[in-house]
Amino acid sequence: MDNNIFIKSLSLNQLREELSKKKIFENQEYIPITAHRAISHVNNPRAESDDILLYVAYEKNQICGYVGMLPDYLFAENGKEKIAWLTAWWVSPRFVGKGIGYSLLNKAIETYRNRIFAISASADSLRIFRKCGEFNLFTHEKSNDYIFSYPNVPPKNIISIAKNGVFKIVNAFARKKLQKWVRKNIYNDFIVDEVTKYTCDLSSFIEANSKNTLFNRSSPEFEWITKYPWVLSGKISTENERFYFSSHAESFLYREFIVKSNNEIVCFIMLRFRDNFVSIPYLFFKNEHIHDIAKIIAEIVFKYKIKSLTIKNQHLAKAFEELKLPFIKNIEFNNEIIVPKQYDYLSFEDFNLQDGMGDNVFT
In whole angstroms, give the CA distance from residue 232 to residue 39.
Answer: 13
Nearest to 270 by CA among 261, 287, 257, 252: 257
**pLDDT averaged per 10 residues in sequence order, the chain, 363 residues:** 85 96 90 96 97 96 96 87 95 88 93 93 82 84 92 85 91 93 82 94 93 88 96 75 86 95 93 94 91 91 94 91 91 89 86 89 93
- Would 353 be classed as within a structural domain? no
Q: Is residue 176 located within the same domain as residue 294?
A: yes
**CB distance 334 to 145 below 8 Å:** no
pLDDT at site 1: 61
Q: Is residue 32 located within the same domain as residue 85?
A: yes
What is residue 114's three-state secondary structure? Answer: coil
Q: For the chain, what is the domain count?
A: 2
- Would 356 be classed as within a structural domain? no
- Would 181 be classed as within a structural domain? yes
Q: Is residue 110 located within the same domain as residue 159?
A: no
Q: Is residue 182 located within the same domain as residue 43?
A: no
Q: Is residue 300 located within the same domain as residue 241?
A: yes
User: What is the pTM assigned to this prediction?
Assistant: 0.92
Q: Is residue 161 located within the same domain as residue 235?
A: yes
**CB distance 340 to 309 below 8 Å:** no
* Main-chain phi, psi angles of 87, to 5 degrees: -115, -25
Q: Kindly report the three-state secondary structure assignment for every residue of 41-104.
A: HHCCCCCCCCCEEEEEEEECCEEEEEEEEEEEEEEECCEEEEEEEEEEEEECHHHCCCCHHHHH
Q: Is residue 317 located within the same domain as residue 189?
A: yes
pLDDT at site 142: 85
Between the CA of residue 233 and those of 34, 201, 310, what are the distances in Å?
14, 31, 20
Cα torsion angle, 265, 228, 111, 135, sign: positive
pLDDT at site 235: 73
**CB distance 148 to 181 below 8 Å:** no
pLDDT at site 236: 66
Q: Is residue 302 located within the same domain as residue 220?
A: yes
- Would 147 be classed as within a structural domain? yes
* 223 Ramachandran zone, left/alpha/beta (phi>0; psi -120 to 50): alpha
pLDDT digit string, tens, across residues 288-300 = 889 999 999 999 9
Last residue of a domain, one of 87, 107, 133: 133
Q: In the 8-state DSSP scheme, what is residue 361?
A: G
- Would 338 be classed as within a structural domain? no
CATH code of residue 45: 3.40.630.30
* 194 Ramachandran zone, left/alpha/beta (phi>0; psi -120 to 50): beta
- Would 357 be classed as within a structural domain? no
pLDDT at site 240: 64
Q: Is residue 199 located within the same domain as residue 101?
A: no
Between the CA of residue 114 and those of 77, 90, 170, 190, what are the distances in Å?
18, 20, 50, 46
- Would 361 be classed as within a structural domain? no
pLDDT digit string, tens, across residues 144-180 = 999 999 988 888 888 888 889 999 999 999 999 999 9
Sheet of 264-274: strand order equals 5-11, 52-59, 62-76, 79-91, 116-119, 329-340, 135-147, 308-311, 277-285, 264-274, 252-261, 191-194
Domain region containing 50: 5-133
Q: Is residue 54 located within the same domain as residue 168?
A: no
pLDDT at site 281: 95
In whole angstroms, give the CA distance from residue 29 to residue 243.
Answer: 9
Strand partners, 9: 55
In whole angstroms, give the CA distance from residue 297 to residue 47.
Answer: 33
Q: Is residue 159 located within the same domain as residue 293?
A: yes
CATH code of residue 218: 3.40.630
In whole angstroms, give the CA distance from residue 98 to residue 117.
Answer: 24
Q: Is residue 161 located within the same domain as residue 187?
A: yes
- Would 255 be classed as within a structural domain? yes
